[in-house]
A and B are shown apart, each in its own frame.
Chain A
Amino acid sequence: MYSDKVMDHFSNPRNVGEVEGANAIGEVGNAKCGDIMKIFMKIEDDVIKDIKFKTFGCGAAIATSSMATELVKGKHIDEALDLTNKAVADALGGLPAVKMHCSVLAEEAIKEAICNYLREKGVDIEAYHKCDNCCRG
């Protein structure tokens, strides 16, 4: 039911763990639903220098965490905020319909982390141009 790419990212997930001295952390999901994703980033000059994740969840949740971190690593935070769950799923060669919610979690976790970073920096989230669809939490 999973593509080879999903299985590759599930069995050899990239960027697992915690970033030492992370200045952006985002956690979404809940244990009751069986999915929690936690993202750790080191952001310098609004560029994601390092990113790691920890995920409690199914194969798709782990694979999307891995792929999403790959997609935003080294990117400017504005680019990372543009990441969609569809882009993550596409990069994995597609996900089964029942697993699409896992890719939403990856997108949300990254946005959550960046928003926390911006808040910490004293940026007015409501006014931040890239935060139309996020940072409301």
Chain B
Amino acid sequence: MKKFIYLDNAATTNVAPEVFDKMLPWFVENYGNPSSIYSVGRDAKKAIENSRRQVAGAINCKPNEIYFTGSGTEADNWAVKGCALANSEKGRHIITTNIEHHAVMDTAHYLEKNGFDVTYVPVEENGIVKAEKVLAAVRDNTVLVSVMMANNEIGTIQPIKAIAEGLKGKKVLFHTDAVQAIGAIPVDVQELGVDLLTLSAHKFHGPKGTGVLFIKRGTKIDNLLHGGGQERTRRASTENTAGIVGLGTAIEKAVNEMPVGIKRIKSIRDEAVQRIMEEIPHVRYNGDAKNRLPGNANFAFRFIEGEGLLLMLDLNGIAASSGSACTSGSLDPSHVLLAIGLPHEIAHGSLRLSFGSESKIEDIDYVVDTLKKVVSRLREMSPLYEDYIKSKPSEV
């Protein structure tokens, strides 16, 4: 069999077989519309409510604070636009960071075009925002703060609890995108003290196309989707029963398995990082080394470009991702890598390896050996490396 090592768990994960099994009956047999009053409809409704309890249990809130969406992106859009619009009489200022996922960042840009004022608080060089800097940006007209719980590219964990504590009594809503965090680190909305929180099923072995927005009771937020009365009139759309069932099953499994799972994943990640940093020259490890998701590793290999690296890894059966411009279709490399101070030419050579529950320690030898070969091959081709070798600077 052709070798295949999947190290892109931050991009997506496979649906766990037991999750898939739970989803199956809701396509062909139990296809009823959950809003219908007859039994196949009621059965679907029950399944959805069961899933809602599973999610509520996983993040420690009440089931009626859980709203199912069509994706993490939708939940982020809803949180940011919905809170901004619903509270615009109070003010039109929003605070976020300069390393948010595009689902939040581009939504903030959109609001800026429509008369809102947005402060993008810069993170420190370790990829973590200082809570006091976020709090210092709060003004009288601030209505919303949105800070991701953990970054999708460099895995850095943000001080959500400290920000929430600082916002207490300020009448500013606080949203966090926890898409990367759930299943990887504990996510407890009471403990965190947030008003809104985004989740996405496919990051924790659930299906694509299903997400969650947690909305704390009493939060003033407008609807994003208008239409039918689903989700207690908050989110119109016929419910994706199978997807929601899959999400509920997956989140329960993810949270149950987390305490043991993260230790294993972290040890695999640490082994890979240690070997790569020791065995490959001219490499930089991006993001705080300790305060990051257990499965995330992000490197910048000098003198080479990320897309070529990914293609060569793929030819060798390894799936990973890069923050290079070429992989995003734009001319600029990742905003996250630029935000932590990497120069463009180094950011172009970035590689993210994200480990998951199916990663194996036995694969690390092959991954590191392949990476060594591929990096040195691309460097041999690189005029930047040639210039470097010829100039032989005393420091790297």
Residues of chain A whose beta carbon lies under 8 Å from any beta carbon of chain B? 2, 7, 10-11, 13, 16-18, 27, 31-38, 54-62, 98-99
Contacts and interface: CB of A to CB of B under 8 A. Distances in A.
B383 interface: yes
Contact of B383 (A11, A27, A33, A58): A27
A47 B198 CA distance: 63
B348 A34 contact: yes
Contacts of B382: 36, 54-56
B308 A59 contact: yes
B307 interface: yes
Given A10-B308, A56-B305, A34 B344 contact: yes
A58 B386 contact: no
B325 interface: yes
Contact of A11 (B306, B312, B385): B312
B331 A33 contact: yes
A57 B305 contact: yes
B151 to A, nearest CB: 22
Contacts of B333: 34
Nearest to A6: B311
Main SS of the interface on chain A? mixed
A58 B307 contact: yes
Interface in B354-396: 380-386
A36 B349 CA distance: 13
A111 B276 CA distance: 40
Given A31-B345, A34-B325, A61-B308, 6 more contacts: A7-B311, A34-B305, A34-B326, A34-B333, A36-B384, A59-B307
29 contacts: A7-B311, A10-B308, A10-B311, A11-B315, A16-B380, A32-B343, A32-B345, A33-B325, A34-B305, A34-B326, A34-B331, A34-B344, A36-B383, A36-B384, A37-B383, A38-B383, A54-B383, A55-B381, A55-B382, A56-B303, A56-B305, A56-B381, A56-B382, A57-B308, A58-B324, A58-B326, A59-B307, A61-B308, A98-B329
A60 B386 CA distance: 20
A59 B303 contact: no
B304 interface: yes
Interface residues of B, number: 26
A110 to B, nearest CB: 15
B344 A32 contact: yes
- The 5 closest A-B CB pairs, nearest first, are A31-B345, A58-B326, A58-B307, A34-B348, A38-B383
Contacts of B348: 31, 34
Of B348, B381, B384, chain A has the most CB atoms within 10 Å of the CB of: B381
Contacts of B343: 32
A18 B326 CA distance: 26
Nearest to B348: A34
Interface string B138-177: 0000000000000000000000000000000000000000
Nearest to B343: A32
Contacts of A57: 305, 308, 326
Contacts of B329: 98
Contacts of A13: 381
Given A16-B380, A54-B386, A31 B344 contact: yes
Contacts of A62: 308, 381
Contacts of A10: 308, 311
B309 to A, nearest CB: 10
Contacts of B324: 34, 58
Contacts of B312: 11
A58 B381 contact: no
Contacts of A27: 383
Interface in B303-361: 303-308, 311-312, 315, 324-326, 329, 331, 333, 343-345, 348
A55 B305 CA distance: 10
Contact of A56 (B311, B315, B383): B383
A58 B305 contact: yes
Nearest to A66: B381
B395 to A, nearest CB: 18
Contacts of B326: 34, 57-60, 99
A54 B385 CA distance: 10
Interface in B164-217: none
Contacts of A55: 381-383
B83 to A, nearest CB: 35
